[in-house]
Amino acid sequence: MKDKGVDFVWFDGQYLKWEEAKVPIFVHALHYGTAVFEGIRAYSSDDNLYIFRLKEHMERLHKSANVYSFTTRFSVDELCKATAELIRKNSIRQSCYIRPLTFVGLHGIDLNVTKNSPTHTTIIIFPFAKYFKGDGISACISSWRRIDDESIPPMAKASGNYLNSVLATQECRRNGYDESILLDRNGNVSEASGENIFVVRNGKLHTPQLADSILEGITRNTAITIAKELGYEVVERPISRTELYLADEIFLTGTAAEIIAITKIDGNIVGNGREGSITKSIRENYENIVTGKSEKFMGWLTPSW
């Protein structure tokens, strides 16, 4: 999105016109990446616009800020209520993307950010449909390694972390691929530039464990829950690069990407080159859940209207 998508944003407890939401060029986050954020989806249905796992996302925003010892000054409940109200204020009824962001403000050039450092929190909303087009994408193994917990915490959803993903994405696009897969420092599969990864082999689902430098994805957790509901075994473990070439199916999970199959990796066809049956079943169940068609999982949805 290159232009404004709506009329209003939420900024530090106020609803401001898009054009009025401004910050000084000397904010600490702009210079040092001291910000944490979330990506949240709201899905239109026949009777409402449902925000998917809103509370869990706002809880993770707080946890990410805590890792870096700065403060999100608004509670989870306050942020959840502000999100729903912002949707109503903008009269949004179509599917949209929600971006909460907490960032360090006028702290100066000192790197000693603390709980007392000034922070701001904003929520931005804009219409959003599909991130990846089609039923399957191509991917390559990036030459860049995933950030490691010994240097920078990958489990915190921090803005600065994503420079790692920018490099990997630039590389894959230059080489004609849709997405990149990063390995961890041990050479095991970590995640894609903005998504978690699942490998299907012999009817079982395998996904990297938290120690493999991954983000603890909320959509990842959703896919694991769906898979177990469908009777599939899910194993969290280190995955070697070679296993990607031997996989029956591979799929990615993420708020923007949702559930998307990888049908070609490093030029090698995955399975039969189309979305596999297990990936399809998980994706279809996910789509039913987020649009309010699954009574069992209505607790994951927050109605906007």
Q: How far is CA 38 from CA 56, 63, 100, 113, 262, in A?
A: 10, 11, 5, 21, 24
89 is catalytic: no
Catalytic-role residue among 81, 157, 204, 280 = 157
Rounded Cα distance, 49 and 125, in Å: 13
Residue 296 C-beta-side C-alpha neighbours within 13 Å? 6
Residue found under tokens 């001291």: 34
As given in the structure block, the two tokens for residue 226 are: 């769906």
Rounded Cα distance between 260 and 263, Å, is: 9
* Whole-angstrom distance, CA of residue 11 vs CA of residue 120: 8
Cα–Cα dist 139/172, whole Å = 7
Crossing angle of helices 218-229 and 54-67, in 10° steps, is: 130
H/E run at residue 169: helix 163-174
Q: Quick one: which of 155, 70, 160, 67 has its CA closest to 121?
A: 70
Answer yes or no: are the C-beta atoms of 73 and 118 closer than 8 Å: no
Can you read off the two tokens belonging to residue 273?
């080159």
Of 54, 125, 32, 56, the C-alpha closest to 87 is: 125
Q: Tokens 């050479």 sit at which residue?
A: 187
Residues 6+ apart with CB under 8 A from 170: none
d(CA 266, CA 177): 9
Which residues carry out catalysis? 157
